[in-house]
Amino acid sequence: MNPADPSTTAPDLDSIDLSTTDLSSIDLTDAAVWERAAPHQWFDRLRRESPVHWHAEADGPGFWALTRHEDVRRVSTAPDEFSSYVGGPLRLDPPQDGLDQVRMVIIGMDPPEHRSFRGIVAKAFTPKHIAQLGDALEAETARVVGELRDGDRCDFVADVAARIPMWSISELMGVPVADRHRLYELSHALIDDQDPEVAPTPDTSMEASIEIFGYASEMAVRERQSPSGSLTSALLNAEVDGRRLTDIEFTLFFMFLIVAGNETTRTASSHGLLTLLDHPDQLARLRADPSLMPGAVEEILRWEPPIHHFRRTATTDVEIGGQAIAEGDKVLMWYAGANRDPSVFEDPHTFRIDRSPNPQQSFGIGEHFCLGASLARLSLRLLFTELFATIENIGLESPARRLHSNLINGIKEMRITYDVR
Ligand code: HEM
C-alpha cells in the first residue's frame, strides 16, 4: 500500500456494517470515498434516517446534507431563502476576495441580478440554437470517433470524451483551434484541483486561473478588433442595467463557461460508457434499438451525476422537511442521493435505459438549472450513437481511474480495447 496514494485511505464501505455505523461518522467530504465510488449505502441510510442531516466538517462550520429529491427541488427553487450569493455555490467558504469574484459569475448570483446576467448567454444555449450547432457537432463527433478505426485500444477519456466538449464550447466562444488544448488543460487543473495528479502543488489551480485570465483578456482585445459573432462577442457587447460588463466580469464569465462546458460532459461521456459496460444487457438493448438513446442518456445522468453537490446558504430561519435551518446555515444538495430516492424512482439502484419518467436532477433545477443541458444531452446522444456504430466488443483494458474529488465525479483514465465494426 502506498500511503501517498489517496485511494488507499478510503474506507471500504462494503466491509462496514452500515446498520450499526453512527451517522455522525459518515463523511461525504472525503474525496477518497468518492474516488472509490459514490457512497450509495450512506445515502440510503441518510434518506431513511436523517434526510436533512447535520454534517460536521473538518474544514468548516458544518452543513446540512440533503439527500431527498423533494428537498433538493425545494432548495433549488427558492433562491430568496437559499442563496447562491451569500456564501457562493461551493462547499468551502472562500476568502473575501474569492467570494467577491464568485459573486460576479452567474452561478454565484441571486435574482434579480442573476436573471440579467443569465439573459446575456441564455439565447446561445436554447434547444433551437443548439440544434443549429447540431450538424457540425455530429461531423466533429464522427471525426473524433472515426480515429478509433486506426487501432484497437485507446484511453477513452483523453482520446474521445475530453475532445468533443472542448470543441463545442470553443466553437460557441470563438476560441481558435490552436489554443483549445491548452485551455482544456487549464480548465482541468482549475476545477479538479483536489487530485494531486491533476494539480500537483497548491499553486497549480491558481496558476491555471491566472493563465486563463490572461487568455481571456487577449480574446477580448482580438474580439474588439474583429468581432467573431461568437458568445465572446455577445459577452463583450452585452449591457446589464444599462452598462457593459467590466473586464473582470467578462473574464470570469469566459472562464466559467470554459470550465462548465468542459468538465461535466467529459465526465458524463466517460461514466456513460463505463456504466453501459457494467450493464451488458442494457448495452445490447441500446445497440439493438437506437430509439432508446434519449432515455439511456437520462439514465446515465441519473446513475452518475457529473457533479456531486452544489451549495446554498439560508438567508432566513426556515424549515426543510420539518427540520429547522437557521439563517446563515450552509445547505448541500447531494445529487447522487436525490437521483436514487425510492419515493421518486422505482428500483432506484437498477440501471434501466427505458426508465420513464426520469426526473433526474443532475443538471440542477430551478433558478440555476444548467444552461448547457441541451448541448450536453445532444453531445451524449451523438457520441454514443457514433461510438456504437463504429466499434464493438468494447472491454476495459484496466480499471477506470477515478478522480480524487468530492465535487466532480470525474474519470481520469479509462483504457479500453475494441474491434472496429
Ligand atoms: C452533463 C453535463 C452537465 C452537467 C451534469 C451540468 C450540471 C450543472 C448543474 C448541476 C448546474 C446547477 C448549479 C446550481 O444549481 O448551483 C449547472 C449550471 C450551469 N451549467 Fe451545467 N452541466 C453540464 C454541462 C454544461 C455545459 C456543456 C455547459 C456550457 C457549455 C454548462 C453551463 C452551465 C452554466 C452556465 C450554469 C450556470 C447556470 C446559472 O447559474 O444560471 N453546463 N450545470
What's the gap in Å between 150 CA and the centre of ligand 1?
34
Per-residue pLDDT tens digits for 124-157 = 888 888 888 999 999 999 999 999 999 999 999 9
Rg of the Cα atoms in the chain:
21
**Measuring CA to CA, which residue among 362, 359, 374 is closest to residue 38?**
362
Residue 347: CA count within 13 A, CB half-sphere:
8
Q: Please report whether residue 185 resides in a domain.
A: yes
Q: Please report whether residue 20 resides in a domain.
A: no
Per-residue pLDDT tens digits for 381-413 = 999 999 999 999 999 999 999 999 999 999 999
What's the gap in Å between 364 CA and the centre of ligand 1?
8
Evaluate: CB of 260 within 6 angstroms of ligand 1: yes
Residues 28-58: b if buried by 16+ CB within 10 A, e if exposed: bbbbbbbbbebbeebbbbbbeebbbbebebe
Per-residue pLDDT tens digits for 215-237 = 999 999 999 998 888 899 999 99
C-alpha cell at 192: 479538479
CATH code for the domain in which residue 96 is found: 1.10.630.10
Distances (CA, A) of 10 to 2, 3, 26: 13, 11, 12
Evaluate: CB of 161 within 6 angstroms of ligand 1: no
Evaluate: CB of 69 within 6 angstroms of ligand 1: no
**Measuring CA to CA, which residue among 299, 301, 307, 308 is closest to residue 43?**
308
Q: Please report whether residue 13 resides in a domain.
A: no
Residue 211: CA count within 13 A, CB half-sphere:
16
Q: Please report whether residue 253 resides in a domain.
A: yes
pLDDT at 18: 62
Per-residue pLDDT tens digits for 240-284 = 989 999 999 999 999 999 999 888 999 999 999 999 999 999 999
Evaluate: CB of 375 within 6 angstroms of ligand 1: yes
**Residues of the domain holding 45:** 35-420
Evaluate: CB of 84 within 6 angstroms of ligand 1: yes
Nearest protein CA to atom 11 of ligand 1, as residue? 370
Q: Please report whether residue 28 resides in a domain.
A: no
Residue 5 confidence class, pLDDT cut points 50, 70, 90: very low
What's the gap in Å between 259 CA and the centre of ligand 1?
10
Q: Please report whether residue 208 resides in a domain.
A: yes
Q: Please report whether residue 56 resides in a domain.
A: yes
C-alpha cell at 304: 452518475
Residue 15 confidence class, pLDDT cut points 50, 70, 90: low
Lowest average pLDDT, out of 3-7, 16-20, 83-87, 212-216, goes to 3-7
Atom from ligand 1 closest to the CA of residue 105 = 40
What's the gap in Å between 54 CA and the centre of ligand 1?
27
Nearest protein CA to atom 20 of ligand 1, as residue? 370
Ligand 1 pocket: which of 300, 363, 365 to mutate (most atoms within 8 A of CB): 363
What is the domain count for the chain?
1
What's the gap in Å between 120 CA and the centre of ligand 1?
15
3-state secondary structure of 329: coil
